[in-house]
Structure 1
Amino acid sequence: MSTNMRIWDRVDKTDTRYTKPAEVGGQKITSLSGTAMIMKATEIFGPVGLGFGWSVLEERFDKGFEMFSGEGDKRFSLGHELNHTMKIKFWFDLDGKRGELEQYGCTRYLYKSQYGTTTDGEAPKKSLTDAIKKSLSMLGFSADVFLGMFDDDEYVNHLKDEQRLARAEDRPAEERRQKQEQHDYFNSVIETMQGAQSLQELKKLHDHAVRRLTMRKDDTAVKRIAKEFKKLSPKFDQESAA
């Protein structure tokens, strides 16, 4: 582990127990637990206030879009949206040296909803949490989420299996369960490939299986899948020629 990456390489993988799907501005994202990130930071640096912490540098409300209600002659202004913004200085101690960085957190405070204008009384708390999470992300915390790897179901499923194994009370039993699951998956892929109706379908099955098996470092299964693809492909070439 290189000196420059020694924090990143310890914190880049996210514990899937502390994530949940969310939607922000119509975009689907993976929401991270702020408390879980603080817990991980405590593991790396020590208790908050001693090994790491933050101070608020700036707090303000920013004006957003103008809100309207009604139609035509009855249309009138409700005022402007307000967004809460907080700027913090985040610090941490590493081998007796103090590191610092600045980051922002933002939260909608006043906005229009289906019920009219709505205010979020917890906006300051949410902005602070947002700023802390973003600060930690600069050090590599939950980098797999911020790099978009949680958009890949195969990555998430593999990560869950790794974490189940690490937490298992009976590790050998969990290893056997995962091995059997992997064996069943391999057999189902071979069977499905043999029933493929086109070269495109066959290749799609091959590519998906190779990606999953490569992620799980099952080189033997990858080679067998590739061999099966090579064996079945000529059938479609012959059909095209006919």
Structure 2
Amino acid sequence: MSKSETVVADSAATESAVAAAAATPGTGGKPASASAPQGSNPSDPSKPSEPTRIDTLYLWNRLKRTDPKATKPFTRAGGFRGTQIDPTWRFQMMTEVFGPIGKGWGYEQMDWTIAERMIFICARVWYVDPETREKCFTGPQWGGTEMVRRRNGMEMPDDECFKMSMTDAVGKCLLQIGLAADVYMGQFDDSKYREESEAFYAAKSNPELQPAAVEAFEAEVKRRLGACLDLDDLEEVWRSGVGTRLREIGAVDRAAQHRITGLFAQKKAEILKREEEDGREAA
């Protein structure tokens, strides 16, 4: 399947899911897995409701997809092949999710040693949870690099070995919270997955899909839905480009996509309820 075919197929699937959500009154656009908040059980106030479920994969799912432009293949002695991830891209992703280094996240050296002409550094990463504001730590990880470089049959000291060892250790720590997990899980071996990731990051870089633009679009949709009097008006708003825009938004912000879709579901429920009441009064 070509890249264009992949994007079209994914867009069609997303449109079907969005349309189905919009056609279901009262869903509010929330994922089916969302549970009710803690408190009394509406069906039986004497019984407590089930505790609110915590999305333990929230950070993992947000960090796991790797930009193909930040990767390149490599081959080591013995024929081992793998995918190298740009360390600067890793820092960019962490800054995007947690904030500037030293404020929203960071790393610290815990130990170091030299053995077999290699420098080993043990480090751990800390980050501030975006939701709870709690400071969290990964488990410590070791990174290692040879202290000499071999070029043209000659050995020379590598003045980058300490930095490279730290980079290696930090990269292993960041994997623990999901950063670039798709590479380590072998998904990059699938050409279709890489094409999907290229489409995802192309959409993410679109100015129309940045948070401020999405927020303005959501406000505009609310305004237009407020003026809808019947289902024909609602359909006209949907067909005015909202469906297409929602597919694009869903590629980078599923929560916003669900919220806006929920506005249509809520408005449809209100219109149907009003028409039902008007019908009873006329009878």
> Which residue in 2 is equivalent to 1:154?
192
Give the TM-score taking structure 1 as reference length. 0.58
> Using the alignment, how far apart are the partners of 1:93 and 1:165 within structure 2?
27
> Using the alignment, how far apart are the partners of 2:203 and 2:141 within structure 1?
36
> Using the alignment, how far apart are the partners of 1:150 and 1:10 within structure 2?
17
**Partner of 2:140: helix, strand, or coil?**
strand
> Using the alignment, how far apart are the partners of 2:104 and 2:153 within structure 1?
44
Native 8 Å contact 2:124 2:170 kept in 1: no
> Which residue in 2 is equivalent to 1:103?
141
Give the TM-score taking structure 2 as reference length. 0.50
Unaligned segments of structure 2, at least 5 residues = 1-32, 34-53, 210-240, 245-283
Counterparts in 2 of 1:126-137, with a 5 A limit?
126-137=164-175
Once the 2 structures are TM-superposed, how far is the Cα of residue 111 of structure 1 from its aligned partner?
Answer: 6.0
Counterparts in 2 of 1:80-229, with a 5 A limit?
82-94=117-129, 95-100=132-137, 101-110=139-148, 114-168=152-206
Native 8 Å contact 2:113 2:120 kept in 1: yes
- What is the aligned-residue RMSD (CA, Å)? 2.4
Native 8 Å contact 1:91 1:99 kept in 2: yes
> Using the alignment, how far apart are the partners of 2:124 and 2:195 within structure 1?
36
Unaligned segments of structure 1, at least 5 residues = 64-81, 176-242
> Using the alignment, how far apart are the partners of 2:208 and 2:97 within structure 1?
27
Native 8 Å contact 1:90 1:103 kept in 2: no
Once the 2 structures are TM-superposed, how far is the Cα of residue 62 of structure 1 from its aligned partner?
Answer: 1.1
Residues 108-146 of structure 1 show CA distances to partners (whole Å, capped at 9, x for unaligned) of 223655513233210000111111111111100011001
> Using the alignment, how far apart are the partners of 2:92 and 2:205 within structure 1?
17
Change (3 A) 1:97 1:166: closer
Q: Counterpart of 2:195 in structure 1: which amino acid?
A: N
Once the 2 structures are TM-superposed, how far is the Cα of residue 154 of structure 1 from its aligned partner?
Answer: 2.2
Q: 2:91 aligned to 38, 59, 77, which one?
A: 38
Change (3 A) 1:11 1:170: closer
Once the 2 structures are TM-superposed, how far is the Cα of residue 169 of structure 1 from its aligned partner?
Answer: 6.9
**Partner of 2:100: helix, strand, or coil?**
coil
Q: Counterpart of 2:148 in structure 1: which amino acid?
A: L
> Using the alignment, how far apart are the partners of 2:202 and 2:171 within structure 1?
25
> Which residue in 2 is equivalent to 1:47?
100
> Using the alignment, how far apart are the partners of 1:56 and 1:135 within structure 2?
12
* 1:57 matches 2:110: yes
Native 8 Å contact 1:56 1:88 kept in 2: yes
Q: Counterpart of 1:45 in structure 2: which amino acid?
A: F
Change (3 A) 1:129 1:162: same
Native 8 Å contact 1:55 1:88 kept in 2: yes
Q: Counterpart of 2:201 in structure 1: which amino acid?
A: Q
**Partner of 1:7: helix, strand, or coil?**
helix
